[in-house]
Structure 1
């Protein structure tokens, strides 16, 4: 059986524990990472979602079917924007549906047991309304730059909320750091190169050259080019991965009920040591599930609003609802599929970790020949689209900080980092990326809470108008 070892394996393990005989730098960074992603930030992330959930009357539950329907409908009165609402959603999903859906779920369950998946669900359900709020604000406060392109996201609504650019610049700085040195480049490159080499036996340098060329072609074309690729690749790769997982679950259907019972019961009781699993209590399951869930769907981190702001729409609420579905698709659907595959096949309690664990699950469930190839193909496409999404996020932040003249130099640096990623040792860089990723969330969440009344007012106005239109339609029907 083929086992994949990716940079993301090292990343997620490094984010949770200090590696064997770590350097002093890694030890310090792990301590900082543990502080940044500790209970205060997790409480702030989930707490913001809980606040908006009840303040907006359970919006993510009541209007999810309506939001899903909007994904496939054109805005009847599109105004300012660069791409369609669907393309904006796919661009955001291109960055969130990534190695976290394969590696992050495996790491969460390896650390916290099957119950961690339940807490990923909880983080996602509350995170949906956080995603709604931040994408609503992104559209409301977006601006047009000197090149005539939309520039929106936390940078702009933070400026509106505080009256100055201090928090906005902090957010933009950390976002560029993540794009350059973390999620956007090195980890994804290494995941693609390792998967292509270990499973498909492609030379690492050749893969790096092809990848760099493809990234350059797409990203130099700007948001329309990125959105066009994302709108094609994201639905296909997501559907393909879900169908593959569904096949695995059908072949192991008899184990599914016990797996679901195990996930739910261990979420509230913890799980004893078993095989290669060291055992975990309830708090560890909660921390692992929430942290990895947020890392996967990025709700509250402030990344998706940058893509949402580019949508051609005249309604900030409408786009907020559309982007809210991204968290549902990312975590409730795709991460659940990965988690169930790990639990029904029993590999979660073995010695494998990260992508190796997921690969082992697919090999056990679908056969040692096809299983690893299918999961590796998914990992390659997930990582590639993550590169595209984060390239755009960093570009918009660079334009905010330094003006449109910085866009082309930013893209050249980004492409150069993609080309060099295959040669780098990534443990320290991944820990640093985790830290910067968490630091992005702090100013963004402050902005959401400061602008909470705007979110509430816009939401109430939209649905009140919708009710009036529906009543008018009903009256006209009756009169006819």
Structure 2
């Protein structure tokens, strides 16, 4: 496990966590925004007109309506990124991270427009009569770069597990256990069976299910969010102030939060923004390729709405709930995941400014600090570690009231060896008070409103629907990639593995799952960004041709 964790950390450090990645992602979006003259603004209204069915033709080729294609793509993006991902971004980067999520969404609206238009233009009809599209098709047929298409398709299959499958299952299980005390193994088993029943029916059944789930879950979640926001209305303006004031300076230490540098908040905000709306990843383009229309640019305009709904609206609501309620700076009783916990040498307190500065630099991956990992032994008496020259960190905070158990509920007594800042013994459970993150943080935040403790049920039910619909959509992305790589016969074996992965992730380490997701996303995104940049001229000509041939669709035309 330690090897896997370190490997994922290394891969993330050279991919999504590297300094260059946010600049590439935002840079491509900025380039196309200027190159296509701000399509996310100019075509925004037209996108709504298209999705309402105003220009639908039943005789056009395709498998779904514009609305069904949008809701299928939204079901792939509106998921744990909106509940757990936003909470993780704020936990890591503070309020500043939300600002950079917004920037990712704004420029991502253009990036999504480009990747969807090109993917729809080069889609193909499969042996079973359904449409198959996505970046691998325009890379192959438009760029004549089959090697790049193969890389992207392989990355899509991997990412279907790392993005659409495992984080969703893990967060569902986490929320169900915290709220209803249902064991993760039962949650994973039942949800895996339901997932299998849906995805076996293919895109038409998937589209019908998601077109019903997405509107329902969005309304429920928004109502719950407003119940917290209005309850803490006096904190809304200060929350917005901190988002903008911290954007270019980083977030200062507050409560148990030891602060985050500008670079760290920027990286975390962009990374979580990408995980949430997937603009630049190329995934949603696979769903939009099924839309029933002869106009690729028209479907591209529909896709502009996705980052707006997903990030500008839903992620903002989640962020305001967490910031206004103040739970992101508070320590809560929780069970420590091994990936979240680290033991360092020396005694540190997050209430002492000098200690906070050292811890902040260390946790934000800076170099100018004196913090060293602890090596040695720790004595434990009746579950309580004996005080010594060490500090236990969990979830980027100084852990308090730590208790060590064995066998589930028996206090441990004896000596524990520590190597490289981690306990070497596997069969112990560590719990105590620390900051929390992901879905657990959002769940607590939703209890700080008019609904009180009932708010946690809104998160749990919303997360259940969000995450389940995301897993459904990503199964479709993966099977389209498998068709490209190995033909239609590979789809059923893929679906069986996909369902199995959904079950396994329910009982896996939460932090480890998020690390897999972070790496998998970038493996798709980099090839896709290269592909759409190389097709920039064709993209512009496709849009110009659309408006030249469809002047009657302009809003000011009768």
TM-score of the aligned structures, taking structure 1 as reference length: 0.90
Confirm whether residue 413 of structure 1 aligns to residue 497 of structure 2. Answer: yes
User: Aligned in 2, Cα 1:469/1:227: closer, same or farther, shift over 3 Å?
Assistant: closer
Q: Quick check: 98-107 or 254-263, which moved more?
A: 254-263
Structure 1 Cα separation of the partners of residues 184 and 497 of structure 2: 21
Deviation at 1:67, TM superposition (A): 1.4
Match 1:226 to one of 206, 209, 212: 206
Q: Do 1:161 and 1:447's aligned partners in 2 also have CA atoms closer than 8 Å?
A: no
Partner of 2:8: 29
User: Aligned in 2, Cα 1:26/1:416: closer, same or farther, shift over 3 Å?
Assistant: closer
Structure 1 Cα separation of the partners of residues 147 and 519 of structure 2: 20
Q: For residues 67-86 of structure 1, what are the structure 2 equivalents within 5 Å?
A: 67-78=47-58, 79-86=60-67
Residues 54-85 of structure 1: per-residue CA shift (max 9 Å, x gap): 11111101221221232212434351101111
Partner of 1:140: 121
Structure 2 Cα separation of the partners of residues 284 and 334 of structure 1: 23
User: Aligned in 2, Cα 1:228/1:164: closer, same or farther, shift over 3 Å?
Assistant: same
User: Aligned in 2, Cα 1:427/1:283: closer, same or farther, shift over 3 Å?
Assistant: closer
TM-score of the aligned structures, taking structure 2 as reference length: 0.78
Q: Do 1:186 and 1:426's aligned partners in 2 also have CA atoms closer than 8 Å?
A: no
Residues 155-194 of structure 1: per-residue CA shift (max 9 Å, x gap): 10011233131111111111111223x2232322222223
User: Aligned in 2, Cα 1:420/1:157: closer, same or farther, shift over 3 Å?
Assistant: same
Q: Secondary structure at the match of 1:267?
A: coil
Match 1:163 to one of 121, 144, 149: 144
Partner of 2:476: 392
Q: Which has the higher strand share?
A: 2
Q: For residues 249-268 of structure 1, what are the structure 2 equivalents within 5 Å?
A: 249-268=229-248
Q: Quick check: 145-154 or 463-472, which moved more?
A: 463-472
Structure 2 Cα separation of the partners of residues 352 and 323 of structure 1: 34
Deviation at 1:124, TM superposition (A): 0.5
Partner of 1:95: 76
Partner of 1:302: 282
Match 2:326 to one of 343, 346, 360: 346
Deviation at 1:425, TM superposition (A): 4.2
Partner of 1:48: 28
Q: Do 2:167 and 2:517's aligned partners in 1 also have CA atoms closer than 8 Å?
A: no
Match 1:451 to one of 519, 525, 535: 535
Deviation at 1:287, TM superposition (A): 1.5
- Alignment root-mean-square deviation, CA: 1.9
Greater length-normalized contact order (CA 8 Å, ≥ 6 residues apart): 1
Structure 2 Cα separation of the partners of residues 344 and 469 of structure 1: 43
Partner of 2:431: none
Q: Do 1:101 and 1:330's aligned partners in 2 also have CA atoms closer than 8 Å?
A: yes
Structure 2 Cα separation of the partners of residues 435 and 115 of structure 1: 23
User: Aligned in 2, Cα 1:201/1:52: closer, same or farther, shift over 3 Å?
Assistant: same
Q: Quick check: 269-278 or 303-312, which moved more?
A: 269-278
Q: Quick check: 459-468 or 102-111, which moved more?
A: 459-468
Deviation at 1:367, TM superposition (A): 4.7
Deviation at 1:148, TM superposition (A): 1.0
Deviation at 1:455, TM superposition (A): 1.1
Deviation at 1:426, TM superposition (A): 5.6
Deviation at 1:50, TM superposition (A): 0.4
Structure 1 Cα separation of the partners of residues 513 and 554 of structure 2: 53
Q: Do 2:56 and 2:66's aligned partners in 1 also have CA atoms closer than 8 Å?
A: no
Residues 440-476 of structure 1: per-residue CA shift (max 9 Å, x gap): 11111111011111111111222233446659956xx
Partner of 2:361: none
Partner of 1:197: 177
Match 1:317 to one of 286, 293, 297: 297
